[in-house]
Amino acid sequence: MSILVTGATGKTGRHIVRELLATEKDVRILTRRPDQVEPRPGLSVVEGDLMSPQSLSAALDGVERAFLFPVLPAIGAFADAARHAGVRRVVLFTGAWAAGHTERDLGSWVLPRYREAEDAMAGAGLAEWTVLRPAPFATNALWWAASLRERGVVGLPHPDALCPVIHEADIAGAVVRTLLDDGHHGARHTLTGPALVTQAEQVAAIGEAVGRTLRVERMSPERWRTEAERFLRPGIAGDLLREWSETEKDPSTALPVLPAVAEITGRPARPFSQWAHDHAADFAGA
């Protein structure tokens, strides 16, 4: 069985590739930077880009199953190309906001964009498709890394905001199982971590992992938005601020903890404390 992995050099993609190779499957990755990929038995590399449809033919030739990284404007073209190439199964992840678990999510900027991408794949005529909708990634805490390393403090607009953030390894585990196991055709699974955790609690867990006292300072939402929009689209920044503000005021409005990770992978979702220990080197001081 040949499996294509897109987004393979990212934090989640690396876990996907590692797990698939451990099952002795032939893995092919599509990347813009093939020179940065370490050669490994069972791994082949095709240079290309999801936003360049002409690069997809070589990547999809002979592929039976594929993981599709959420480059949203490219989803429809990829799904069509996969169907024409005879790819049987495609797994895509978007985000938990697409599930509309709360009134806030139903009104989010990103929900219609996620659903449009999901529907493009679902309507492409593929034999089998699955959508995974992960909660906000624990790796978003890496946004704080430079400040925590350098000053031992991070500014947050809503430090008591709650979310069941998810370890990227659990997303990867769910991707691998839905690629390999039957019974997920047409499903749209929402993936979460095992517990609601505040941002302040995340900072405390990182401090414990690195053996340092780390602090949170409350900053204004306006200042956070100005800084965040250097690397986030304004709509996403607005969605995040609304979620954080509402869940800080009323924890019952947070995304609920759901059992899909354990149900799909057969193992419990990893707590944030595990993520903090796994990424301690990213936060260690000089």
What pLDDT, in 10s, does the model give residues 264-278?
A: 999 999 999 999 999
Q: Is the pLDDT of residue 253 over 70?
A: yes
Tell me what percent of the residues of the chain surpass a pLDDT of 70: 99
More confident residue, 286 or 89: 89
What pLDDT, in 10s, does the model give residues 139-173?
A: 999 999 999 999 999 999 999 999 999 999 999 99
Q: Is the pLDDT of residue 286 over 60?
A: no
pTM for the structure as a whole: 0.96
pLDDT grade for 84, boundaries at 50, 70 and 90 = very high
pLDDT grade for 285, boundaries at 50, 70 and 90 = low
Taking residues 28-49, what's their average pLDDT?
92
pLDDT given at position 176: 98
Tell me which residue of 127, 94, 119, 129 sits closest to 108, measured CA to CA.
Answer: 94
CA dihedral (167, 173, 175, 177) in degrees, to 10, reads -160
- CA 126 from chain center: how many Å? 23
Classify residue 41 as exposed, middle or buried by CB count within 10 Å of its CB (0-12, 13-18, 19+): exposed
Tokens of 155: 């500014």
What pLDDT, in 10s, does the model give residues 184-203?
A: 999 999 999 999 999 999 99
CA dihedral (40, 44, 48, 53) in degrees, to 10, reads -150
Mean of the per-residue pLDDT values for the chain? 96
pLDDT given at position 1: 84
What pLDDT, in 10s, does the model give residues 66-75?
A: 999 999 999 9
pLDDT given at position 53: 87
